Chain A
Amino acid sequence: MINFETLNIKEARKKLETKEFSSVELVKGCLERIREKDKEINAFITVCEDEALKSAQMADKEIANGNSDQLALLGIPIAVKDIYSTKDIKTTAASRVLEDYIPPYDASAISRLKKAGTVIIGKTNMDAWAHGSSGENSDFGSTKNPYNLEYVSGGSSSGSAAALAASMCLASTGTDTGGSIRLPASFCHLVGLKPSYGRVSRYGIIAMASSLDSIGHFTKNIYDSALILSITAGFDGYDATCPDIKVPPYHLNLEKETNKLTIGLPKEYFKEGIDKKAGVKIEESISRLKQAGLNFVEVSLPNTKYAIACYYLIQTSEVSSNLARYDGVRFGFGRDRFGAEAKRRIMLGTYALSAGYYDQYYLKAQKVRTKIISDFEEAFKKCDLLLTPVSPTLPFKLGEKVEDPLSMYLSDIFTVTANLAGLPAISLPCGFVDGLPVGFQLIGKPFDEEKLFQAGYFYENFEA
């Protein structure tokens, strides 16, 4: 009997090699869990049953032939956010505009995962076009939080978070433009990684905001997260914003002397406005790390209060440009199929870029962005990592914020700054409040994912 609730990638790889179970058994188990629970949770838009079983059979052959050396994810079932192009598998971005779109190619991240032996089990639900923080903007129904079905799983990578939290797969992919991996990770008790902008190629991933989109993933622990990044990261020749920076074997560099790290606590992120009970959980995590010997300093990011305004101008402007291509001519359906949130963002972005308003809005926001970036540069002179909350609130109920777009936008208050500054950040689970998960965030220097993983690994394994 496979224990899906506790199984992680590292353990699954071992057990596949020792033939404790086969990839086909593992995948069949995941498919069974999807059949049992997904009607309620609605994590998947497409379940790739036939393709997954075929991949699993091929994986079992490779394992039998002893070919696993270069195939770090051989036989492992992974769910993919439906914003990643997957060759010959329907890809919708959870929008009726792309309801019947079948990409003729794979995103770079997908090719790399496949090359490493991954079994793609399905395409997950999300806020349409990645526009949202709750999963309620999907054109295919909201995804529910597996920890409490009356609550949201967080967005926009809602289905990926829920699928993994419900153990329907062993990892899942996401995108994070303003918090869309970190927020659902914190709502679903998962490790959610947003790599540095440019660490993972965006080629083949339906673009939301091209200067903010970050390609990352969800896992149950740090080792798995580091392993997946070692596979997806790196220059690929198709994304002009991917610097040719070496990819270290992240999963092999986890055990370092973490007590030499200094963690900064930005005071603007700990003012009022955070749910009290969630705040207590985060304080407990800080105490735990202090107990473990890490140094903490207070730092300041003075332009934090401008981040949401800055983000929502830059992001919507870039969205209005990226969504201009959807006109039903070369693929998909026409623009009348855009939902309310997509239309709202296209309208706002078009206005911010239009003649007479460009300087006042878009250009101004780009200048404020520069100041937000230098805030981080200053802070990182005093510390190696920053620790902050992920969400100002506990997971909220379905329907609670839908009527008020601005209030929904304010959920992103602690996450957008990492996207504006292009920094890597990770959400780590730090417990539950009234049965609802809470997470905290570590933010690192550009391309310094190693320290994020080391600190996270240390936190995971530290016995108080």
Chain B
Amino acid sequence: MINKKLSTEQIKHVARLANLNLENKEILQFQDQLSEILDYVDILNEVETRDVEPTSQTTQLHSVFREDKTAPGLSASEALGGVKNKVNTLVSVKKVWEN
């Protein structure tokens, strides 16, 4: 394939959006594979969809509510059982703001 659909810059951009750290080898591999897949999905341009509504799910349900009643939930220790970095019942995360 001479003209790949995606540039390595685009791959790096998408990886950033997806919070994935890719090695150079992976960037090149994905450039090849994703470009090939995007070439394939271009077949959808054959379909006339001008006046077609999109379907997001097939149940036709919307605005599903329940009674606003409380019920017991997980305890803090149950809920935090899988947290590797915590201080008491607080989850440790990377610094979000500088100041």
Contact = CB atoms under 8 A, between A and B. Distances in A.
Interface string A341-385: 001101110110010000001011111111101000000000000
B37 interface: yes
A351 B14 contact: yes
Interface in B66-93: 66, 74, 78-85, 91, 93
A240 B64 contact: yes
B54 A369 contact: yes
Interface residues of B, number: 50
A197 interface: yes
Interface string A437-456: 00000000010000000000
Nearest to B19: A335
Interface centre among A305, A320, A332, A346 (most CB of B within 10 A): A346
B13 to A, nearest CB: 8
Interface in B1-37: 6, 10-11, 14-15, 17-22, 26, 29-30, 33-34, 36-37
Chain B interface, >50% SS class: loop
A336 B21 contact: yes
B81 to A, nearest CB: 6
Q: Size class of A's contact patch?
A: 35 or more
Given A240-B64, A365-B44, A422-B58, A370 B78 contact: no
Nearest to A303: B47
B34 A366 contact: no
A332 B81 CA distance: 11
Contacts of A348: 34, 37-38
B98 interface: no
Given A102-B82, A243-B59, A310-B44, A367 B18 contact: no
B74 A105 contact: yes
A104 interface: yes
Interface of B: 6, 10-11, 14-15, 17-22, 26, 29-30, 33-34, 36-38, 40-47, 49, 52-59, 61, 64, 66, 74, 78-85, 91, 93
Interface of A: 100-102, 104-105, 197-198, 210-211, 237, 240-241, 243, 303, 305-306, 308-310, 312-313, 320, 324, 327-332, 335-336, 338, 340, 343-344, 346-348, 350-351, 354, 361, 363-371, 373, 405-406, 409, 421-422, 446
